[in-house]
Amino acid sequence: MNLHPKERPLWQRAIALPVLTMLLIYKVLHLPRFILPRDIKAIVTNWDVRVFWVLISSGLTRAYIDQPCEFTVLDNCEPKVFFFNDSAPTEKGDADRLTIASAPDRIKSSIGSTW
């Protein structure tokens, strides 16, 4: 990982900033993309508005390393593995004594022979 990224000179950023602003406007207005060159079309198609905004608002000094994402935490975080014995696995590795069933197996056993 590059912890000391190269900072572009001011003249390069002065050229790229209006171009990125125009590409953001182009994306927001949903103008036809078939007239754009392949590389520019890929930027307009694949970059999110937030990627453009971080670049433009920081003056091309900050950027996302990849597409931005949010992790949504569910209200009910039910485990996918259930232990039917009273003892839980320990550090000694005695997990082979336990009976482990996944959620579909537990549902299947509670329904009976209908599966």
pTM over 0.85: no
- The contacts of residue 98 (CB under 8 Å, 6+ apart) are 83, 84, 85, 87, 88, 89
d(CA 15, CA 74): 44
Burial (CB < 10 A; 0-12, 13-18, 19+), residue 55, is buried
Domain positions in the chain are 1-69, 81-111
Q: Is the distance from CB of 67 to CB of 45 less than 8 angstroms?
A: no
Averaged pLDDT, groups of 10, the chain, 115 residues long = 77 93 95 94 93 91 82 77 60 52 52 51
Q: Which residue, among 19, 20, 33, has the nearest Cα to 63 in the 3D structure?
A: 20
Report the pLDDT value the prediction gives residue 115, as an integer from 0 to 100. 47
